[in-house]
Amino acid sequence: MQTATDEHGRTFREAWIAGVTKHYPGDPKPSYVTPWEETPDWERQAAAAVYSQVRAFVEISAGNTAKLTRNQKGRFVALCWIAQIHKHIDNPKPSYVADFDDLPQWQRETDADIFERIETDA
């Protein structure tokens, strides 16, 4: 039985894969486009948590997130994701917890796409 948490995590993952497919230059690493069913448990939990954080932010903001720039939206997703990385990985690689400005352009665009997908759901 699929829970709302599973559905939210799956939506996050599908938005990630769609963004990678759209924005990644060349062929992405296979792990970037791994289907939900093959995604590690910790990553599923992290995806569901970030979805919930973004959705709560959108709902609390009473529709005013539409006024945010794509950069601001992507930054919020990235920051929520970094917190999940620290929750699930004791000593993450620096690239896993890099500041938004240090992420490659494709990843910044993908994070913004994720925010906008969740914004649409809310």
Instruction: Give the pTM.
Output: 0.94
- pLDDT for res 1: 56
Does the structure show a pLDDT above 90 at 4?
Answer: no
The confidence band for 42, taking pLDDT boundaries of 50, 70 and 90, is very high
CA angle 51, 22, 69 (to 5 degrees): 55
| Residue 112: band (very low, low, confident or very high) from pLDDT cuts 50, 70, 90 | very high
* Summary count for the chain: helices (H), strands (E): 4, 0
pLDDT at 2 (0 to 100): 64
**SS3 call for 28:** coil
pLDDT in the model for residue 5: 79
Give tens-digit pLDDT for 56-102.
999 999 989 999 999 999 999 999 999 999 999 999 999 999 999 99
H helices within 3-121, ranges in order? Answer: 4-23, 41-60, 70-88, 105-121
Place of tokens 């004791």: 90
- Cβ–Cβ < 8 Å for 85, 92: yes
